[in-house]
Structure 1
Amino acid sequence: MEEDRASVRSAINPNPLTSAANSALWSLQGHSSGHPVNSSPAALPQNIFTNPAIQPSSVINLSNSSDVVIGPMTQYQGPVTIYQYMDATVEARSMQAGGGINQNRTTENTSILQKLSTSSKLLILLIVVVVIVAGVIIYIEIEQNNRKPDPGPILFGNSYEHGTFPNLGNGHLVIDRDQWGASELAKNLKIPLKHPIPYVLITHIGVQSKPCENVYRCSIKMRTIQDSAIAEKNLPDIQANFYVGDDGNIYVGRGWDYANTYANDTLAVTFMGDYGRYEPNEKQLEAAQYLLAHAVTNKYIDLAYKLVAQNQTKVTKSPGANVYRHIKTWYHFYPCGMDDHPRCGVELGLPDVWDGKM
């Protein structure tokens, strides 16, 4: 029987090395057959597993098989090693399938996180916008509550409409109290001026005061005059009704409606400087004349008003020799208190010396 099996193996594989390898492969039998593998160790031939020089002529892939017998049922006694080879293509497909599922799940989770993140950002942005808008509204309300009442517009034109205080013409502007920065410490004035006013009184600052040549410096001078009147002279406000700057502009003092500190029934117009030392310029003199023309047109002063200098009403150098020299040539100048003329204001019952403090 052994000889027959040997001959069969020789017939199939005449090469003795290949025959020995095939003998080893044919001897493998599935365990499900129930036959033990018996063989004598001494008679174990060289095979592909014990001899590295021997390589199989072919490779057989088995799957889902049982009771498989390859070649003659030669039984071996001794250890048998079985190698299992997995199809790499099947494994790769399995890994790709698993990876695709994980990738889809990862993408879906990332999309949800992105959506949540965007919603959170929009919510935070909305909250910030609401807070900012609320803050702006509160700030505007506070500013409106603290804002002073609008003193009214200054009209820059050559019209003389009643109830307005326009540009007096020819570039002579009117600088109102709020514009030059009048102090809030000024008290309410109580003595009104009755219109039309019969007298216009011309004065100057004096005491070596240098004329101011622009709005900035004239505004500072106005604040200084007002502070001195309130703090040092204990007056409720600045002294005169209007002030004439060297810049050719008119600065509002007590205005049209309240009495000055010199005398009732007079409109006091003060030149801002010491005009015993300095000469008034042409635009300053013109600004004063434009102011008086505006007053006549709006019936603040009498059509036949009397223009007098302060040195005609009391012993003083005001309004300075240089200003006095000019106003004596003006049409409404009244020479009261000079030569044989009666004293100023006698017809109105004004005192001998115009030195009131109000």
Structure 2
Amino acid sequence: MPARRTLLAWVLLPILGLLGVGATREDICTMSIVPRSEWRALPSKCTESLSLPVRYVVVSHTAGSTCNSPTSCEQQARNVQHYHAQTLGWCDVGYNFLIGEDGLVYEGRGWDTKGAHTGATWNPISIGISFMGNYMERVPPNRALRAAQNLLACGVARGALSPRYEIKGHRDVQQTLSPGDQLYRIIQTWPHYRE
């Protein structure tokens, strides 16, 4: 049943957009965020909360394999969680949300829990969003970019993000190539981007 709901959202989101059907931001939150239970995440051991609303969003890429269907993206989310929790010994997947090339958002630590995506300075004051894949040489598909933008609108609607939030590329706040040259060029054009 959870896989059917994910597949239904994957099919309906583009159709609703084409038809101009007026879905509210809360509807978009519900339809496009795949909960941890649906991608079969291991239980989180994280206990540190974020003080909401946060002012910053840090966009990164996983620099690993891409995924372009709900089945492959669920597996990739599990792979990222396994690497972070089992190999690195973190309390959970490091990101608050993961973006798949299938156009869906996969809940990581969620809105309320402090991430482990950008170091001690930025983790307590930001939401970490990571695109699953490597975007040095290629751009994410439009549906993945739309999913990220819908997620940001959702965060504002929920009160998790300040309406005046600022987007940073991972490389803006740490010495890294993330989020990849091609994705970095794209997020620099988004209205909330600040270097």
2:61 to 199, 204, 207: 204
Q: CA deviation at 1:322?
A: 0.8
Identical-pair percentage: 30
1:145-224 matches, within 5 Å, as: 158-161=23-26, 165-167=29-31, 173-184=32-43, 186-187=44-45, 189-206=46-63, 209-224=64-79
Partner of 1:114: none
Give the alignment partner of residue 95 of structure 2, picking from 240, 243, 251: 240
Is 2:138 the counterpart of 1:266? no
Q: Distance in 2 between matches of 1:237 and 1:299?
A: 24
1:225 and 2:90 matched: no
Query: What does 1:238-317 align with in structure 2 at a 5 Å threshold?
Result: 238-261=93-116, 262=118, 263-317=123-177
Shift of 1:278: 2.8
The structure-2 alpha-carbon separation of the partners of 1:272 and 1:161, relative to structure 1 and needing over 3 Å to count, comes to: closer
How many angstroms apart in 2 are the aligned matches of 1:329 and 1:215?
Answer: 28
3-state SS, counterpart of residue 202 of structure 1: strand
Deviation at 1:298, TM superposition (A): 1.8
Closer, same or farther in 2 for the Cα pair 1:161/1:216, shift >3 Å? closer
How far residue 210 of structure 1 moved from its aligned partner, in angstroms, is 2.8
Q: How far does residue 220 in structure 1 lie from its aligned partner after superposition?
A: 0.6
User: CA separation in 1, counterparts of 2:26 and 2:104?
Assistant: 20
- Which string of whole-angstrom CA distances, capped at 9 and with x for unpartnered residues, describes residues 273-311 of structure 1? 011133211111111011101111221101111110010
Distance in structure 2 (CA, Å) of the matches to 1:233 and 1:193: 22
Contact 1:199–1:308 under 8 Å retained in 2: yes
Q: Is residue 135–residue 179 contact of structure 2 (8 Å, CA) maintained in 1?
A: yes
1:245-298 residue CA offsets vs partner (Å, 9 max, x unmatched): 001000000000000002211000000001113321111111101110111122
CA offsets 1:313-349 (integer angstroms, 9 cap, x no match):
11100000110010000000011xxxxxxxxxxxxxx
Aligned-pair Cα RMSD in Å: 2.0
Q: C-alpha distance in 1, partners of 2:157/2:36?
A: 23
- The answer as to whether partners of 2:36 and 2:108 remain within 8 angstroms in 1 is yes
Report the Cα distance in structure 2 between the residues aligned to 1:221 and 1:323, rounded to whole angstroms. 19
Indicate conservation of the 8 Å contact 1:211/1:245, yes or no.
Answer: yes
Shift in Å at residue 240 of structure 1? 0.2
Gaps of 5+ in 2: 10-21
Greater fraction of residues in strand = 2
SS at match of 1:274: coil
Deviation string, structure 1 residues 165-202 (Cα, Å, up to 9, x no partner): 412xxxxx221101001014x31x22111111110000
- Equivalent-residue separation in structure 2 for 1:161 and 1:251 (angstroms): 16
For the residues of structure 2 that align with 1:237 and 1:158, how far apart are their CA atoms?
A: 32
The CA deviation string for residues 47-81 of structure 1, in whole angstroms up to 9 with x for no partner, is xxxxxxxxxxxxxxxxxxxxxxxxxxxxxxxxxxx
- Structure 1, unmatched stretches of 5+, are 1-152, 168-172, 336-358
Q: What is the rounded CA distance, in whole Å, between the counterparts of 1:306 and 1:275 in structure 2? A: 21
Larger Rg: 1
CA distance in 2, matches of 1:220, 1:281: 19
Paired AA for residue 174 in structure 1: I
CA distance in 2, matches of 1:286, 1:161: 16
Query: 1:321 pairs with 181, 188, 192, which one?
Result: 181
* Structure-2 residue corresponding to 1:59: none
Give the ranges of 4+ consecutive aligned residues of structure 1 lying more than 3 Å apart after TM superposition: none
SS at match of 1:166: helix
Give the Cα separation in 1 of the matches to 2:141 and 2:188. Answer: 16
TM-score of the pair, normalised by structure 1: 0.46
- Counterpart CA distance in 2 for 1:252 and 1:210 is 18
**Aligned residues, how many?**
172
Partner Cα separation in structure 2 for residue 277 and residue 232 of structure 1? 27
